[in-house]
């Protein structure tokens, strides 16, 4: 305990005020395997944060460790810039093996600096070079990374103009209708912005989108909308960039999330899971776009051999063991169990996700106000990384107040739209989960979405343990603040409590 406290004290004294996860998760991991992390104090946690969605195979999977050891023992150079090596060659072969048909046969790959954000920068640069145009179309709620200014400070051109378009969402639909109709209206808006000569938007260099918005609150794009974006961009010769940094490698129930819709993007941005827990990022694109100059996108750390070996092992394991199918089946079962939980606790406003990328939006009391209902609750579009700073505060200063009369608010929901987002309740659930040995992520436009990103290797038993702990945490947050949020089905709660053996190791 003293070791843990000492390390945490020194961390808060010495590390940046911008640190994120560390604020909401005051633990000191020293060992990890699969779903489980062990802290310096000996406590064990079920990790459903998975390195912000990086760990497709969980922590320290044997095939990943073996691949890393093999490179270390071989005497191969660990730093090679962007030179060719057998390790890199094997990685590209395995990566191309997994690509959506239509891209695989005509693909080029650019290795980037090791973070997802660097690959996003490279993708934007690529389409600007290929089209000779400069503007980019992006979507409300999108998250593509954190870099800004490095190129400007280096004297490079970086005046990327971004036009923001509506991303379809059911629960807080900007048009107040949701469903297929909301998605169709969002598509029409995009079309009209591109075709209206007075829209103020010049013909863009590319469109970038996430097939499932992760940090934006776990919002899967409807397949029909994604196909519409493909038609709209193809008809106007606008390269479509799919940012699969978080959705890739089986996470959503398909190897790449674009496969659900059958869409073939022109460019794919990949990172996180492709490095098998080590830093790696690439852009994959159609070869006719490959017209940029040598050195157009450089970077010292583009040749991480250990990450490529770990990545090759991970990609191959996910493919050979059909882990995307497993993510689809288990994910839909877990989502339906989360929906049952939402039926018990009105402070869960919405449950959504795809595969093993799941979220639960926490809401407070108050009349719904359509699309803008949540805006007043947190005063900011925080992403997952903000959860430690903005998510743990209670903007209204009254968590109990948020929960009072929530049942009555629930009755109004259908007529007045969704209730206000409740980042304070989400943060309380995250804290209660941690107390019960479960690590969850927060995200969403208002930091009000409790997110689950378990490894694809999670067993049925572990999944039950995760849901038990989560249900317990929600119950304690709901129950400790007000008597008005009584579960709607107490018999189920009692059964769950009976079940609550520590099933995961
Ligand atoms: N794109 C998406 C969809 C992401 O989810 C993220 C990070 O969460 C990024 C890009 C940025 O990746 P990185 O944090 O490695 O820069």
- Residue ranges of domains in the chain: 98-294
> Ligand 1: which of 272, 274, 449, 451 to mutate, judged by most atoms within 8 Å of the beta carbon?
272
Instruction: Determine whether the shortest distance from the Cβ of 143 to ligand 1 is under 6 A.
Output: yes
Strands (DSSP E) contained in 114-170 are 136-139, 162-165
Contact 82, 271 (CB under 8 A): no
**Interacting residues of 142 by C-beta distance below 8 A, sequence separation 6+:** 167, 208, 209, 210, 213, 216, 243
Q: What percent of the chain is modeled with pLDDT above 90?
A: 80
pLDDT at 1: 77
The minimum-distance atom of ligand 1 relative to the CA of 244 is 3
Give the Å distance between the CA of 145 and the centre of ligand 1: 5
The minimum-distance atom of ligand 1 relative to the CA of 118 is 16
The minimum-distance atom of ligand 1 relative to the CA of 114 is 15
- Tens-place pLDDT, residues 233-267: 999 999 999 999 999 999 999 999 999 999 999 99
Sheet holding 136-139, edge to edge: 107-111, 282-286, 267-270, 240-243, 206-209, 136-139, 162-165
Instruction: Determine whether the shortest distance from the Cβ of 215 to ligand 1 is under 6 A.
Output: yes
pTM of the model: 0.89
> Could you tell me the sign of the dihedral formed by the alpha carbons of 469, 244, 180, 421, in that order?
positive
Give the Å distance between the CA of 496 and the centre of ligand 1: 36
Give the Å distance between the CA of 249 and the centre of ligand 1: 14
Is the pLDDT reported for residue 152 higher than 90? Answer: no
For residue 452 the two structure tokens come to 């689950």
Instruction: Determine whether the shortest distance from the Cβ of 271 to ligand 1 is under 6 A.
Output: yes
Instruction: Determine whether the shortest distance from the Cβ of 341 to ligand 1 is under 6 A.
Output: no
Contact 206, 238 (CB under 8 A): yes
Q: What percent of the chain is modeled with pLDDT above 70?
A: 83
Determine which residue's CA is closest to atom 10 belonging to ligand 1: 144
Residue in 142, 198, 131 with CA at minimum distance from that of residue 166: 142
Residue in 240, 167, 163 with CA at minimum distance from that of residue 200: 163
Distances (CA, A) of 326 to 211, 331, 334, 456: 19, 8, 12, 7
Distances (CA, A) of 116 to 87, 97, 162, 243, 273: 21, 21, 19, 9, 11
Which residue is it, tokens 């103020």? 200
The minimum-distance atom of ligand 1 relative to the CA of 210 is 3
Instruction: Determine whether the shortest distance from the Cβ of 383 to ligand 1 is under 6 A.
Output: no
Instruction: Determine whether the shortest distance from the Cβ of 251 to ligand 1 is under 6 A.
Output: no
For residue 418 the two structure tokens come to 């969704």
Instruction: Determine whether the shortest distance from the Cβ of 145 to ligand 1 is under 6 A.
Output: yes
CATH for 98-294? 3.40.640.10
Distances (CA, A) of 11 to 23, 26, 47, 386: 10, 10, 21, 18
Kindly state the average pLDDT of the residues 122-150: 92
- Tens-place pLDDT, residues 216-228: 999 999 999 999 9
pLDDT at 155: 60
Instruction: Determine whether the shortest distance from the Cβ of 120 to ligand 1 is under 6 A.
Output: yes
The minimum-distance atom of ligand 1 relative to the CA of 142 is 3
Q: Within 13 Å and on the Cβ side, how many CA atoms surround 148?
A: 5
pLDDT at 420: 96
Q: What is the β-pairing status of strands 29-33 and 36-39?
A: antiparallel
Give the Å distance between the CA of 430 and the centre of ligand 1: 21
Q: In this predicted structure, which of 14-23, 52-61, 412-421 has the lowest mean pLDDT?
A: 412-421
- Tens-place pLDDT, residues 431-454: 999 999 999 999 999 999 999 999
Is the pLDDT reported for residue 232 higher than 90? Answer: yes
Is the pLDDT reported for residue 367 higher than 80? Answer: no
> Ligand 1: which of 121, 144, 167 to mutate, judged by most atoms within 8 Å of the beta carbon?
144
User: Please, what's the largest Cα pairwise distance for the chain?
Assistant: 67
Determine which residue's CA is closest to atom 1 belonging to ligand 1: 144
**Interacting residues of 249 by C-beta distance below 8 A, sequence separation 6+:** 56, 255, 272, 273, 274, 314, 315, 318
Determine which residue's CA is closest to atom 13 belonging to ligand 1: 116
Is the pLDDT reported for residue 375 higher than 70? Answer: no
């Amino acid at each position: 305990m003293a070791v843990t406290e000492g390390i945490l004290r020194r961390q808060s004294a010495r590390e940046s005020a911008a640190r994120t996860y560390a604020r909401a998760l005051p633990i000191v991991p020293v060992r990890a395997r699969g779903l489980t992390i062990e802290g310096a104090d000996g406590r064990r946690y079920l990790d459903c944060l998975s390195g912000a969605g990086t760990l497709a195979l969980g922590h320290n999977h044997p095939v990943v460790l073996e691949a890393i050891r093999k490179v270390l023992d071989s005497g191969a150079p660990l730093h090679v810039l962007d030179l060719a090596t057998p390790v890199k060659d094997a990685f590209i072969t395995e990566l191309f093996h997994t690509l959506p048909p239509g891209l695989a046969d005509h693909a080029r790959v650019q290795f980037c600096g090791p973070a997802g954000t660097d690959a996003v920068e490279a993708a934007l640069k690529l389409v600007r070079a290929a089209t000779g145009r400069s503007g980019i179309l992006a979507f409300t709620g999108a998250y593509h990374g954190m870099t800004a200014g490095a190129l400007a400070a280096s004297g490079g051109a970086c005046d990327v103009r971004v036009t923001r378009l509506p991303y379809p969402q059911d629960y807080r639909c900007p048009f107040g209708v949701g469903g297929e109709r909301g998605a169709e209206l969002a598509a029409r808006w995009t079309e009209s912005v591109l075709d209206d000569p007075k829209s103020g938007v010049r013909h863009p260099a590319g469109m970038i989108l996430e097939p499932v918005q992760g940090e934006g609150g776990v919002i899967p794009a409807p397949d029909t909308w994604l196909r519409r974006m493909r038609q709209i961009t193809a008809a106007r010769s606008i390269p479509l960039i799919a940012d699969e940094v978080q959705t890739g490698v089986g996470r959503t129930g398909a190897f790449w999330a674009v496969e659900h819709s059958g869409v073939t993007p022109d460019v794919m941005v990949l990172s996180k899971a492709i490095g098998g827990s080590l830093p790696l990022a690439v852009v994959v694109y159609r070869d006719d776009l490959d017209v940029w100059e040598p050195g157009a996108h450089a970077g010292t750390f583009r040749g991480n051999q250990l990450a490529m070996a770990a990545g090759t092992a991970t990609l191959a394991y996910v493919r050979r063991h059909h882990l995307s199918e497993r993510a689809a089946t288990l994910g839909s079962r877990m989502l339906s169990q989360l929906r049952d939980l939402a039926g018990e606790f009105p402070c869960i406003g919405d449950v959504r996700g795809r595969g093993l990328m799941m979220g639960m939006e926490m809401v407070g009391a108050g009349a719904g106000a359509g699309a803008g209902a949540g805006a007043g609750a947190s005063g900011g579009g925080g992403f997952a990384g903000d959860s430690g700073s903005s998510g743990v505060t209670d903007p209204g200063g009254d968590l109990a107040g948020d929960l009072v009369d929530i049942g009555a608010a629930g009755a109004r929901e259908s007529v007045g739209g969704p209730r206000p987002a409740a980042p304070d309740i989400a943060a309380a659930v995250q804290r209660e989960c941690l107390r019960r040995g479960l690590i969850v992520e927060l995200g969403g436009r208002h930091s009000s979405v409790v997110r689950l990103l378990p490894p694809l290797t999670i067993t049925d038993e572990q999944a039950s343990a995760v849901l038990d702990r989560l249900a317990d945490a929600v119950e304690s947050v709901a129950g400790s603040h007000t008597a008005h949020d009584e579960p709607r089905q107490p018999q189920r709660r009692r059964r769950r409590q009976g079940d609550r053996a520590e099933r995961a190791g």
